[in-house]
Amino acid sequence: MPVLPASSWPSPPEGIAAEDLVWAETVTGGNYTHKVLARGTELRLTDLTGDACAHVLLYSADRPWERLNAADTVKVFWNAYLGEGHLLLSDQGRVLASVTEDTSGRHDALSGTSTLVRNTERYGDGTPQSATPAGRELFKLAALKNGLGARDIPPSVSFFQGVRISEDGTADFTASAGAGTSVTLRAEQPLTVLIANVPHPLDPRPAYNCGPLDVLAYRAAPTAPGDALWDATPEGRRAFLNTAEHLNTRGSHDRHHHPCGSRRL
């Protein structure tokens, strides 16, 4: 369960005032969480033990049919390996979130999360109430609590357990970078965020290994013209321009200081 109020979290990130925290919780292995975040909010995920694997889905908060598109996130930037400076795109060519900091470098935008069938084969069970729940089953629960269904769950991206593609096309699991690493995402438009903390589907260990994940979000500002990230690549600049045009036409371009909302039930 999240800490309420978030400002009572005992150790805010360095440089972040406690009163700016809007979401704070530790998600144990085999569990999930979700929240609606205002534009400009920064979301910091921390792998406490080196065994967390944060599978993440993003949706435009009031237009959930616009959602994370892992394929476009990879192909638009000609880069399958997520890290600092990468943009997480929707299928509309708009930026949902940007990766502003990364001390892990062990992520995956290709494999998605675990499924009921796969977990049942590997561990004997994959249902949400079991000791070995599948990521997709947990995503279904998080989606339902935000008015979404199973058909609204696209392939996810995952942080802290890496995969590299070898010359012959094999997906090689590279595991984590160790305890205490973190990744920070910046919401570039209002977002619904779903997170499932479950073992990576390519993790070769026979046991269901998944450690705790710290989830902290705090008020900040979205990427703007003049920021280095805005013009880092031609593709990224186009995606930011698409996002700005969309927000302008909806009259919400400057509404990034509104408090964050929650639909956690």
pLDDT for 154: 97
pLDDT for 253: 55
53 inside domain: yes
pLDDT tops 90 at residue 209? yes
259 pLDDT band (50/70/90 cuts)?
very low
100-126 per-position pLDDT tens digit: 999 999 999 999 999 999 999 999 999
Mean pLDDT of 226-237: 95
Mean residue pLDDT of the chain comes to 94
250 pLDDT band (50/70/90 cuts)?
confident
241 inside domain: yes
pLDDT for 251: 84
pLDDT tops 80 at residue 188? yes
19 inside domain: no
Q: What is the dihedral of CA 138, 139, 141, 144, to 10 degrees?
A: 180
Total domains, the chain: 1
- As a three-state string, the secondary structure of 150-192 is HHHCCCCEEECCEEEECCCCCEEEEECCCCCEEEEEEECCCEE
58 inside domain: yes
pLDDT tops 70 at residue 213? yes
pLDDT tops 70 at residue 91? yes
232-246 per-position pLDDT tens digit: 999 999 999 999 999
172 inside domain: yes
Buried b (16+ CB within 10 A) or exposed e, 198-218: bbbbbbeeeebebbbbbbbbb
263 inside domain: no
184 inside domain: yes
pLDDT for 1: 82
136-187 per-position pLDDT tens digit: 999 999 999 999 999 999 999 999 999 999 999 999 999 999 999 999 999 9
For 244, the domain range is 27-249
pLDDT for 263: 34
44-58 per-position pLDDT tens digit: 999 999 999 999 999
247 pLDDT band (50/70/90 cuts)?
very high
22 inside domain: no
E runs forming strands in the chain:
21-27, 31-37, 42-47, 54-60, 63-67, 87-89, 95-102, 107-108, 157-159, 162-165, 171-175, 181-187, 191-197, 213-218
